Amino acid sequence: MTIVWCSNYEELSRKAAAIIASQIIIKPTSTIGFATGSTPIGLYANLVKKYQNKEISFANVKAFNLDEYITGSREVGWSFSSFMQTHLFSHVDIPEENTDIPNGVAEDLEVECARYSEALSEVPGGLDYQILGIGTNGHIGFVEPNEFYPLDTHIVDLAESSIIGQRPFFEDWSKIPTRALTVGIRPIMHAKQLLLIASGPEKSEILQKALFGVVTSKVPASILQLHKNLTVVADKEALADILANNPECSL
Ligand code: F6R
């Protein structure tokens, strides 16, 4: 595991974008797993800048997203699919047919889960890079704390802290969906490289538990310790507990 210490969110966003941009430059046909949420917004803004400066092209990139709300109908409006359009896809040259995300309004959600799991399993050698955030309860994607690790795409009832975590995106909190489709642990752990990003004091305690605590499905992100290519890019507030508990880590 490599931990990249950043002094603030701007630096985190720049460094995380540099990692993903390098991947795209080295392999223009990369398949990348994208995350949504507050943390990657700055990373995506930096990728858009790099695209505008002609440093990178997404023309041959393939994109898979981690998760999507189950909303019952498209009328509900806000979705992770629209998040990706707003923050990245509509600003770069990625062909629409190169992007995939679980369909939260599919008629048969179980069939949709099977379709998405199969699509991910067909990526040769696994995703080149998987971008991840972390929930305050340790979730990755929407793999919530549980007695076991779900392997493939499934329907999930969101934990209360996960619903609260979505408040920045909803004016009316009563409209936050309570169910989602999410990938399981298999495509994440099969990815060749993982980039975990975390920002702010509310991530500090869980980051310490996930990266240095016991590996347990009750802290889903703890399984990332077992991945051979994990890079964590985090700001000093998110790294505070790690630094406090590991006095040998000096900066
Ligand atoms: C979203 C996702 C979630 C978020 C996590 C952190 O696609 O996979 O696991 O990464 O909830 O969210 P933020 O960045 O909003 O703190």
Expressed in angstroms and rounded, the spacing between residue 197 Cα and the centre of ligand 1 is: 9
The least confident of 16-25, 73-82, 96-105 is 73-82
Active site residue 139: yes
Pocket around ligand 1 at a 6 A CB cut-off: 35-39, 66-67, 80, 133-135, 139-141, 165
Q: State the closest ligand 1 atom to the C-alpha of 132, by its place in the atom list counted from 1.
A: 10
φ, ψ dihedrals at 98, nearest 5°: -90, 0
Predicted local confidence at residue 75, as pLDDT: 59
Contact 119, 183 (CB under 8 A): no
> What mean pLDDT do residues 78-83 have?
90
Distances (CA, A) of 127 to 47, 48, 122, 123: 19, 21, 10, 6
Identity of the residue numbered 36: T
Give catalytic status of residue 146 as yes or no.
no
Position in ligand 1 atom list of the atom nearest CA 166: 15
pLDDT in tens, 191-208: 999 999 999 999 999 999
Give tens-digit pLDDT for 57-72.
999 999 999 999 998 6
Q: Which of 68, 112, 144, 235 is catalytic?
A: 144
Residue 89's identity, in one-letter code, is: F
| Neighbour count for residue 186 (Cβ, 10 Å) | 17
Is the predicted pLDDT of residue 251 greater than 60, yes or no? no
| pLDDT value of position 109 | 96
- Output the CA–CA distances (angstroms, integers) from residue 193 to 78, 119, 160, 190, 231, in the order listed: 30, 19, 30, 9, 8
Are 48 and 86 a contacting pair, CB within 8 Å? Answer: no
Catalytic residue among 67, 112, 128, 241: 67
CA neighbours closer than 13 Å in the CB half-sphere of residue 31: 21
Residue 224, phi then psi, degrees to nearest 5: -65, -25
